């Protein structure tokens, strides 16, 4: 239906316009998230090709990608200036928490990788 397609085009246009207005540091975090999720998908595809043995390596690989993506999203939430709940959280503190959580995550990953 032409109305649906024109609506869809309008939708995508306004989405891209609104997204282009976000500050650069948030866009960098978004890029990082997309990369991590893409890596996870590649690992799942590889597992589909080769089989899931050893399962713990597969699990740790996928969960490390997803985990760091989730933590990056949390960082983005805390650093976003539009977010009123976190306006008195200094971004350095948010980044330090992000690093700490990633450290714990990767420690566990290295232990589980086998």
Partner 1 sequence: MAEPQSSRTTSGGDGRLRNALGGVLCAFSLLLIGVLAFSIRLFSVIKYESVIHEFDPYFNYRVTQFLSKNGIYEFWNWFDDRTWYPLGRVIGGTVYPGLTLTAGTIWWLLNSLNIPLSVETVCVFTAPIFSANASWATYLLTKEAKGPGAGLMAATILAMVPSYISRSVAGSYDNEAVAIFALIFTFYLYVKTLNTGSLFYATLNALSYFYMVCSWGGYTFIINLIPMHVLLCIVTGRYSSRLYIAYAPLIVLGTLLAALVPVVGFNAVMTSEHFASFLVFLILHVVALVYYIKGLLTPRLFKVAMTFVVTVGLALCFAVAAILIALVASSPTKGWSGRSLSLLDPTYASKYIPIIASVSEHQPPTWPSYFMDINVLAFLVPAGIISCFLPLSDASSFLVLYLVTSVYFSGVMVRLMLVLAPAVCILSGIALSEAFGVLTRSMKFQRPTSDDGSSTAGDGSPNIPANSKAVSKEKPSKKNRNKEKDSEGSSSVDTRTEEKLLVLPCGPSAVGIMLLIILSGFYVVHCVWAAAEAYSAPSIVLTSRSHDGLHVFDDFREAYGWLRHNTGADDKVASWWDYGYQTTAMANRTVIVDNNTWNNTHIATIGTAMASPEKAAWDILNSLDVKYVLVVFGGLIGYSSDDINKFLWMVRIGGGVFPHIKESDYLRDGNYRVDAHGTPTMLNSLMYKLCYYRFVETDGKGFDRVRRYEIGKKHFKLTHFEEVFTTHHWMVRIYKLKPQKNRVRGKLRLKSSSKTSSMRKTSGKKSPWH
Residue ranges that bind partner 1, judged by CB under 8 A? 4, 7-8, 10-11, 14-15, 18-19, 55-56, 59-60, 63, 66-67, 70-71, 73-75, 77-78, 82-83, 85-86, 89, 94, 97-98, 100-101, 104-105, 108-109, 111-112
Token pair recorded at residue 25: 């540091």
The answer for residues whose C-beta is within 8 angstroms of residue 112's C-beta and 6 or more apart is 56, 59, 60
How many Cα atoms sit within 13 Å of 2 on the Cβ side?
0
How many CB atoms within 10 Å of residue 23? 11
Q: At what angle do helices 24-50 and 55-79 cross, to 10 degrees?
A: 170
What are the phi and psi torsion angles at 28 (to 5°)? -65, -45
* Choice between 19 and 46, CB closer to partner 1: 19
Min separation Cβ 4 and partner 1, Å? 8
CB nearer to partner 1: pick between 35 and 59? 59
- The residue among 46 and 52 lying less far from partner 1, judged by its C-beta, is 52
Shortest Å distance, C-beta 69 to partner 1: 9
Query: Shortest gap between Cβ of 25 and partner 1 (angstroms)?
Result: 16
In 21-90, where does DSSP find H-type helix?
24-50, 55-79
Smallest distance, Å, CB 58 to partner 1? 10
């Amino acid at each position: 239906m032409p109305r649906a397609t024109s609506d869809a085009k309008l939708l995508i246009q306004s989405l891209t316009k609104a997204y282009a207005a976000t500050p650069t540091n948030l866009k960098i975090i978004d890029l990082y998230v997309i990369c991590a999720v893409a890596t996870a998908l590649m690992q799942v595809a590889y597992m589909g090709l080769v089989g899931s043995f050893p399962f713990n390596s597969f699990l740790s690989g996928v969960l490390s990608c997803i985990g760091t993506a989730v933590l990056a999203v949390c960082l983005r939430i805390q650093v976003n200036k539009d977010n009123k709940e976190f306006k008195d959280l200094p971004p350095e503190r948010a980044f330090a928490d992000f690093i700490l959580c990633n450290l714990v995550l990767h420690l566990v990953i290295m232990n589980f990788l086998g």
